[in-house]
């Protein structure tokens, strides 16, 4: 038998797909994978596995908006549907709250912790950021330490990537 239903359907239902584009503002590629039309992972990388647009109209639309954000720094990605199943409860809550933070704004790890009802869990918030499956769309780059530094960023490019993203959005730091 031939496995699961992954061929295209007229209603555009379940269909895994992935694609990537080069983001000049980062000097890196951005690769996304979709499951059932929802964004499941986003990778910032210098070596994408899949090049070019993904399969599916919806998927291409989402990727195009992400690309647009990386040009203008102003795209509102809050309504992009993401798949956070598999992310542990606390981390998931944190990621969901973080989604509401718009381009140009920043907040601290402690702020997020407090907002989640666990003041003192700032370091655990850092852990949630480090494991964010969909950076940029869930804007973990907008979370900075209390004080003047940019803190860390574990995606490809490290703090340089974080700085580029914040600069693009016009954040001051």
Site for DNA in 83-112 (CB under 7 A): 88-91, 108-110
Q: Is 140 a catalytic residue?
A: yes
Q: Could you please report the per-residue DSSP string of 57-103?
A: HHHHHHHHHHHHHHHHS----TTS-B--TTS-HHHHHHHHHHTTPPT
| Residues 171 and 142: beta-carbon distance below 8 Å | yes
DSSP 8-state symbol, 164: H
Q: Which of 28, 42, 63, 140 is catalytic?
A: 140
Using the minimum distance from each CB to DNA, give the nearer residue, 129 or 168: 129
Binding mask of the shown chain, residues 107 to 146, with x at each position contacting DNA by CB under 7 A = -xxx-------x-xxxxxxxx-xx-x--x----x--x-xx
Using the minimum distance from each CB to DNA, give the nearer residue, 37 or 135: 135
Distance of alpha carbon 45 from alpha carbon 29, whole angstroms: 5
Residues serving a catalytic function are 140
Using CB under 7 A as the criterion, which residues of the chain lie in contact with DNA when the complex forms? 88-91, 108-110, 118, 120-127, 129-130, 132, 135, 140, 143, 145-147, 151-155
């Amino acid at each position: 038998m031939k496995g699961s239903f992954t061929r295209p359907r007229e209603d555009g239902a379940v269909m895994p797909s992935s694609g990537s584009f080069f983001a000049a503002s980062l000097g890196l590629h951005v690769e996304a994978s979709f499951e059932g039309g929802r964004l499941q992972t986003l990778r910032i990388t210098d070596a994408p596995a899949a090049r070019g647009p993904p399969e599916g109209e919806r998927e291409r639309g989402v990727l195009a908006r992400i690309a647009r954000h990386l040009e203008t720094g102003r795209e509102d990605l809050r309504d992009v549907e993401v798949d956070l199943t598999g992310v542990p409860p606390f981390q998931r809550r944190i990621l969901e709250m973080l989604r509401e933070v718009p381009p140009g704004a920043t907040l601290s790890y402690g702020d997020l912790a407090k907002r989640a009802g666990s003041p003192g869990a700032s370091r655990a918030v850092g852990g949630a950021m480090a494991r964010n499956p969909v950076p940029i769309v869930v804007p973990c780059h907008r979370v900075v330490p209390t004080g003047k530094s940019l803190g860390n960023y574990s995606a490809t490019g490290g703090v340089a990537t974080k700085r580029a993203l914040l600069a693009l959005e016009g954040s001051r730091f």
